[in-house]
Chain A
Amino acid sequence: MIRVALVEDDEKIRSNMITLLEESEGFRCVGAYPDSETALKDLRNKSPEIVLMDINLPGMDGIECTHKLKELMPELLIVMLTVYEDTGKIFQSLQAGAVGYLLKLTKPEDILTALTEVSVGGSPMSAQIARKVVQSFHREPKQNKRGEPSLSPREEQILELLSKGYLYKEIAAELIISPDTVHNHLRKIYEKLQVHSRTEAVVKYLKN
């Protein structure tokens, strides 16, 4: 049973999602909120495993909310919901601690598959996100000295292939590893990205 919570301001989508989750085997919708503020107040009590988070929310946006939630509940898996593949916003969400994203357009069965993958440690990543991750890590390489997580050679390899348009299975074939391992690597990368971003923010704050 995967406990899923939902933060989505559009009522129709929200109710559709609730319906989808409640009616699907192995999923439970433990909470559905129209905005970040209520979600932040209430989510703790519901102890969800995964939160589906809309990026564009009234008031506090989904990225900020992700950030706060990750502080409150570091173990929480947050998957962003978005209408378009807006690479910039998605990347910001990942930096804030999200482990993946889903297009609202995605077919219901694909949504469920993705959630399952996330719950078992998978993390979807597109070529563009991979590019951004690489850029982010390479922009401030000196920070590695401060004990901050840096990308392992294998992770770099995976990111590079991803950014070149390889699919997970192609990467797995290329590197002679299982697709699951690719997923695990990507989850690691996400985590490192989050820590990296946090440090980056602290450094920026200190500099100012």
Chain B
Amino acid sequence: MRIIGFTLAILFFSIMMFPQEASEFLTIDQGLSQNYIYSIWQDKKGFLWIGTKDGLNRYDGYEFICYRHNPADSTSLSENNVSIVFEDSHQRLWVGTNGGGLNLYDRAKESFVQITSSADTTTLSSNYITCIFESRDGFLWVGTTDGGLNKLNPVTFAVQRFIHQASNSNSVSSNYIHAISESDDGLLWIATAQGGLNYYNPKSKSFSHILPKDKDGQELKYLNDVTSLSVNKKGMVWFGTASGLNLYDTHSGKILHYPVRDSNGNPCLISNILEVNNTLYISSFQLFAAFDIREKKYLVLSEPSDKWFTNAVCKDKSDIFWLGTGGWGVMKYNPNTKMFHSTPGVFLNEAFPTAVNTLHKYFSSISSTLLNGRGTEFLPIKKIKTGEYLIATPHTGLLRIDESGKLIERISTNSSNIPSVPVWPVSDVFEDNFGTIWIATVGGVNRFNADKNTFTHIRLYNDKRMIPEYLNKSGAAGYSDISVTLVDHNNIFWLGTPDRGLLRYDPQKNLTTAYHQELRGNSSLSNNQILSIAEDEQHPDKYLWIGTEGGGLNHFEKATGKCDHITTDIGLPNNVVYGILADDKGNLWMSTNKGLCRFNPASKSFKNYDVETGLQSNEFNRREYYKAPDGKMYFGGILGYNAFFPKNIRTNSNAPQIVLTGFKLFNKRVSFKDESSPLKQSIETTEKIILEYAQNVISFEFAALEYTTPKHNLYEYKLEGFNDDWVNAGTVREATFTNLNPGNYRFRVRGANSDGVWGKNQAAIDIIVLPPFYMTWWFKIAVILIALGIVITVIRFLIMRRVRERIMKSEHEAAMERERLRIARDLHDEIGSRLTEIRLVSEMAKQKNVSANDVLEKLEEISTASENVVTTFSEIVWSLNPKNDSLENLASFIGQCSTEFLSKADIRCRLDFPPELPGYNIPSEVRHNIILSVKELMNNIVKHADASIASIFLSTDKEELSITVKDNGRGFDMSNVRTFGNGLKNIQRRIESIGGKVTMESVIDNGSTTRIILPLKSFQTQ
């Protein structure tokens, strides 16, 4: 009972100490599959695995991936009701279920191997799994609700069952197993329901039952239900039962019971024990607590009145506790978030206890109304070099209090000793470097003359508020004018005002300088509302730090008045800087409207703390900052104050592990399960991605698995082969690359926790961008070859064309030559001889002795000859005229000649020409030879054939022109063609010279047929 009483006392105190702990919840609203949590496990990579009543979840600090049973997929989770998640030493993740047996997770394929119970005794004894434990020999021990224990070979999945047998006292004492653990001596400890604590000796292969009895020999029944277990190296076996922790000392065999009750006095069933160093973290239905093994004391860490816990507890690598609840998701309990201790009330009470106590004593004897109805927090108070305190009070003047709290002196500050100056409010009190006391009032400062007990007012500026009437009317209390004072080591006074910038006052020279925000130029003060002034302890001669209301922090150069502005633009949380205190390491601590900020001027780095870290509020107050001689800092705000030693504000040193969590193509997430996905397995396990050239917008998603404040985790990445410098991604956990050239790249990413501590490990992946077909070597070679081919062809073509042109030209010239020769010959032969004949005959006709008859005869001869000349001439002209270069004209001329010629001989002429003839260009030489050949044939018919009808057929097909001349004359013997040898030979020679051929048929007494065939392809079409 003594123990319980003590425990309760601690409990009560604990609850007082930690009102509503820093806890947040992961629920279905954040993406969790279900709110009833059975199991939580952090794997080696850092992922949190959360088993719920409905599905298994993987959490990376940002997103959940949920795995569920799919009846159609044998590689899905075997059952949605997940009872336990466990990762073995080979980083194999095992998932036990209620009813679906065990599952082994395949990280590459994001699928599961289902291991279930069957009649075969080498399978699991039950599908209802409660716990999984890996013994040092590498076997998995799987506890069930109704099948006892199973020893599982994690590679072959072969099982050895250990089932309770009533007849066998060496068997496990119950088939309901709650927990399994192993001690250094190799014994396996088993927590059972209704069977108490067991241990299994692998050597003797037998179970021993620990069922202690009390002094009276009665069984201690409350020890039968062992719900949790933790075995430590010292041979101490801690186990939980329905009312608390128990210690079984393996050396002495004794069991000690440490009961625990909740704040309502109800006993707490210990459902899980997590041993860390000398602390047992225990979870029970009602509360989460720490048990100090050495002190044997419970400390309740969380006892939510409206929720209850399951046995799921996990402490992650950042020492954050993740607690499963029965319907409210996962509770995140971070014992380290409360770095700042916040206290309600006035910081002066703690910072200046003796002075404040004295004040209280002093005023309680007078009246609290002397304080204007306010507390002491608004009084200007300074601790001066002698250790004494100076406090300015209204009505009662300036008080000097010594270190022991004794009031030494009261200096009146009324108009009698400060002539012509309204003396209240006194906005500050201070001591200069020569020990002289000063007070700041409206319009300036006032030096105390100790010998005369008076103040000398030094007017620094004029203000209507200095008129007493005005002050009286407005009841001007509070912080008008000189809002802050600082005396530097050169005894220069730096005075901040609420709306007229900074004043510098040199008391030795009685010199005042004012510094304002100037509209133009950005090197003036950023703001005229000065809230705080601090010395730059690194460069005290050169600079001051000035905090403003809305203009952030100014680094003020004393010599020039120029300022560097430090604002929200570069990381300050807020531009209202109420207080500035410097720590020993050169950091500035600033109170703002958005919490506290630690600023390192050298690195220009900021660390911002908000209410989640234990601040009284995010909003602080003006004038309420103080650094005690021991280095403790005080910052006052609207809900109290925070007092701390800067060196105690630890940064979270847990460097995060980083993983790739997604891959996107064209801003769409791609799964390896998608068709034609460049991923062949899960992104988590992928080492190399091969991309087509067209897949040119790619993104990687990543997560630093540090859960303190994931949204403030930082990232850097680089793509080797593209950019060798780290790219600062801030808190953005995605990197996108577009239009990568073909080649090999390596993407690397690393992460930092919210305190900027970078992880050592990097996630990396190789990327190979394949060249497009037009950039492949074979294509390039093909293009070069084709280009070469084209060039060669063109050159060849050009050369050939020139050659051909030359040939054609010479052919043409030769043809012209031939033509001229022909014309000359024709003119000579045909016309020349005829004209000669005409000349001869006409000369003869002119002879005197020629009779009239003879003259007529001669004239007839001349007439005939000249007709011949005209005919021949017309033929020559016709054939020379290029207008007649058509098949139609040729046909026309043939028809014309034939009809005319034959009609003269009284032979009927029959023409058979097609109505339309194709438009071939038939050059003059060809026409000439054809015409002459046809005429020759006509001549033969007229002279030799003795025919009555001659027919001329002219036809064309695609390839040739055929002219057939047929008569019905007497014909001739084909064997005796020589009869008209010359004529026929002439025809043959002519036609062959133009590329054609002549055939001739004849049957005696049955006419003859001559056919001229001329290929047309050599002629151009019109």
Residues of A within 8 A of B (CB): 83-88, 105, 126-128, 131, 134-135, 138, 163-167, 170
Interface pairs (19), CB distance under 8 Å? A83-B874, A84-B874, A87-B893, A88-B883, A105-B867, A105-B870, A126-B899, A127-B899, A131-B895, A131-B913, A138-B915, A164-B910, A165-B895, A165-B902, A165-B910, A165-B911, A166-B908, A166-B910, A170-B908
* Complex CA distance for A127 and B870, rounded to whole angstroms: 21
**Which residues 891-947 of B have a CB within 8 angstroms of A?**
892-893, 895-896, 898-900, 902-903, 908-913, 915-916
Q: Are B910 and A87 in contact (CB under 8 A)?
A: no
* Complex CA distance for A88 and B899, rounded to whole angstroms: 17
Chain B residues contacting A88 (CB-CB under 8 Å) are: 883, 889
Q: Are A127 and B911 in contact (CB under 8 A)?
A: yes
Distance in Å: Cβ of A104 to nearest Cβ of chain B:
9
Chain B residues contacting A138 (CB-CB under 8 Å) are: 915
Chain B residues contacting A165 (CB-CB under 8 Å) are: 895, 898-899, 902, 908-911, 952
Chain B residues contacting A126 (CB-CB under 8 Å) are: 895-896, 899
Distance in Å: Cβ of B90 to nearest Cβ of chain A:
93
* Complex CA distance for A128 and B897, rounded to whole angstroms: 10
Chain B residues contacting A170 (CB-CB under 8 Å) are: 908
Chain A residues contacting B867 (CB-CB under 8 Å) are: 105
Distance in Å: Cβ of B903 to nearest Cβ of chain A:
7
Distance in Å: Cβ of B885 to nearest Cβ of chain A:
12
Chain A residues contacting B899 (CB-CB under 8 Å) are: 126-127, 165
For A87, give the chain B residue with the smallest CB separation: B892
Chain B residues contacting A84 (CB-CB under 8 Å) are: 874, 877-878
Q: What sequence of 0s and 1s flags, for each residue 855-888 of chain B, a beta carbon within 8 Å of any chain A beta carbon?
A: 0000000000001001000100110000100000
Chain B residues contacting A83 (CB-CB under 8 Å) are: 870, 874
Query: Taking A127-B895, A128-B892 as contacts, is the C-beta distance between A163 and B913 under 8 angstroms?
Result: yes
Most chain B CB neighbours (cut-off 10 Å) among A85, A87, A105, A165: A165
For B870, give the chain A residue with the smallest CB separation: A105
Chain A residues contacting B889 (CB-CB under 8 Å) are: 87-88
Chain A residues contacting B912 (CB-CB under 8 Å) are: 164
* Complex CA distance for A203 and B877, rounded to whole angstroms: 35
Distance in Å: Cβ of B564 to nearest Cβ of chain A:
86
Q: Are B870 and A128 in contact (CB under 8 A)?
A: no
Query: Taking A164-B911, A164-B912 as contacts, is the C-beta distance between A87 and B870 under 8 angstroms?
Result: no
* Complex CA distance for A86 and B902, rounded to whole angstroms: 19
Q: Are B898 and A135 in contact (CB under 8 A)?
A: no
Chain B residues contacting A167 (CB-CB under 8 Å) are: 903, 908
* Complex CA distance for A58 and B912, rounded to whole angstroms: 38
Distance in Å: Cβ of B813 to nearest Cβ of chain A:
29
Q: Are A128 and B896 in contact (CB under 8 A)?
A: yes
For B869, give the chain A residue with the smallest CB separation: A105
* Complex CA distance for A163 and B898, rounded to whole angstroms: 12
Chain A residues contacting B916 (CB-CB under 8 Å) are: 135
Chain A residues contacting B913 (CB-CB under 8 Å) are: 131, 163
* Complex CA distance for A126 and B912, rounded to whole angstroms: 14
For A107, give the chain B residue with the smallest CB separation: B863
* Complex CA distance for A131 and B889, rounded to whole angstroms: 11
* Complex CA distance for A85 and B867, rounded to whole angstroms: 14
* Complex CA distance for A25 and B898, rounded to whole angstroms: 34
Chain A residues contacting B915 (CB-CB under 8 Å) are: 131, 134-135, 138
Query: Taking A165-B910, A167-B903 as contacts, is the C-beta distance between A127 and B896 under 8 angstroms?
Result: yes
Distance in Å: Cβ of A110 to nearest Cβ of chain B:
12
Chain B residues contacting A131 (CB-CB under 8 Å) are: 892, 895, 913, 915
Distance in Å: Cβ of A166 to nearest Cβ of chain B:
8
When the two chains form the complex, which single residue of B895, B902, B903, B908 contacts A128, counting CB atoms closer than 8 Å?
B895
Chain A residues contacting B910 (CB-CB under 8 Å) are: 164-166
* Complex CA distance for A170 and B907, rounded to whole angstroms: 12
* Complex CA distance for A88 and B35, rounded to whole angstroms: 106
Chain B residues contacting A166 (CB-CB under 8 Å) are: 908, 910
Chain A residues contacting B874 (CB-CB under 8 Å) are: 83-85
Chain A residues contacting B900 (CB-CB under 8 Å) are: 85
Distance in Å: Cβ of A161 to nearest Cβ of chain B:
10
Chain B residues contacting A135 (CB-CB under 8 Å) are: 915-916
Distance in Å: Cβ of B655 to nearest Cβ of chain A:
90
Chain B residues contacting A105 (CB-CB under 8 Å) are: 867, 870
Chain B residues contacting A85 (CB-CB under 8 Å) are: 874, 896, 900
* Complex CA distance for A84 and B896, rounded to whole angstroms: 11
Chain A residues contacting B892 (CB-CB under 8 Å) are: 87, 128, 131
Known pairs A85-B874, A127-B896 / 13 extra A-B pairs, C-beta < 8 Å: A84-B878, A85-B896, A85-B900, A88-B889, A126-B899, A128-B892, A128-B895, A131-B892, A135-B915, A138-B915, A165-B910, A166-B908, A166-B910
* Complex CA distance for A83 and B866, rounded to whole angstroms: 13
* Complex CA distance for A165 and B909, rounded to whole angstroms: 5
* Complex CA distance for A105 and B868, rounded to whole angstroms: 10
Q: What 6 A-B pairs come out closest when comparing CB atoms?
A: A165-B911, A165-B909, A84-B874, A128-B892, A87-B892, A127-B895
Most chain B CB neighbours (cut-off 10 Å) among A83, A127, A163, A170: A127
* Complex CA distance for A164 and B952, rounded to whole angstroms: 9
* Complex CA distance for A88 and B909, rounded to whole angstroms: 22
Distance in Å: Cβ of B179 to nearest Cβ of chain A:
106
**Which residues 586-644 of B have a CB within 8 angstroms of A?**
none
Q: Are B896 and A87 in contact (CB under 8 A)?
A: yes
For A164, give the chain B residue with the smallest CB separation: B911
Distance in Å: Cβ of A193 to nearest Cβ of chain B:
16
Distance in Å: Cβ of B977 to nearest Cβ of chain A:
27
Distance in Å: Cβ of B935 to nearest Cβ of chain A:
14
Chain B residues contacting A128 (CB-CB under 8 Å) are: 892, 895-896
Distance in Å: Cβ of A13 to nearest Cβ of chain B:
13
Chain A residues contacting B896 (CB-CB under 8 Å) are: 85, 87, 126-128
Q: Are B911 and A163 in contact (CB under 8 A)?
A: yes
Distance in Å: Cβ of B835 to nearest Cβ of chain A:
16
Chain B residues contacting A86 (CB-CB under 8 Å) are: 878
* Complex CA distance for A166 and B867, rounded to whole angstroms: 24
* Complex CA distance for A163 and B900, rounded to whole angstroms: 13
* Complex CA distance for A94 and B248, rounded to whole angstroms: 139
* Complex CA distance for A120 and B913, rounded to whole angstroms: 32
Chain A residues contacting B903 (CB-CB under 8 Å) are: 167
Most chain A CB neighbours (cut-off 10 Å) among B874, B892, B912: B892
* Complex CA distance for A167 and B911, rounded to whole angstroms: 12
* Complex CA distance for A164 and B915, rounded to whole angstroms: 11
Chain A residues contacting B898 (CB-CB under 8 Å) are: 165
For B951, give the chain A residue with the smallest CB separation: A165
* Complex CA distance for A101 and B877, rounded to whole angstroms: 20
Most chain A CB neighbours (cut-off 10 Å) among B896, B903, B952: B896
Chain B residues contacting A87 (CB-CB under 8 Å) are: 889, 892-893, 896
* Complex CA distance for A167 and B908, rounded to whole angstroms: 8
Q: What sequence of 0s and 1s flags, for each residue 397-434 of chain B, a beta carbon within 8 Å of any chain A beta carbon?
A: 00000000000000000000000000000000000000
* Complex CA distance for A170 and B949, rounded to whole angstroms: 12
* Complex CA distance for A124 and B295, rounded to whole angstroms: 147
* Complex CA distance for A85 and B895, rounded to whole angstroms: 11
Q: What sequence of 0s and 1s flags, for each residue 459-493 of chain B, a beta carbon within 8 Å of any chain A beta carbon?
A: 00000000000000000000000000000000000
* Complex CA distance for A134 and B917, rounded to whole angstroms: 13
* Complex CA distance for A133 and B893, rounded to whole angstroms: 16
For A86, give the chain B residue with the smallest CB separation: B878
**Which residues 279-307 of B have a CB within 8 angstroms of A?**
none
* Complex CA distance for A48 and B173, rounded to whole angstroms: 151
Distance in Å: Cβ of B914 to nearest Cβ of chain A:
10
For A139, give the chain B residue with the smallest CB separation: B916
Chain B residues contacting A164 (CB-CB under 8 Å) are: 910-912
Distance in Å: Cβ of B716 to nearest Cβ of chain A:
78
Chain B residues contacting A127 (CB-CB under 8 Å) are: 895-896, 899, 911
* Complex CA distance for A83 and B867, rounded to whole angstroms: 11
Distance in Å: Cβ of A175 to nearest Cβ of chain B:
16
Distance in Å: Cβ of B792 to nearest Cβ of chain A:
48
* Complex CA distance for A166 and B874, rounded to whole angstroms: 24
For B898, give the chain A residue with the smallest CB separation: A165
* Complex CA distance for A128 and B889, rounded to whole angstroms: 9
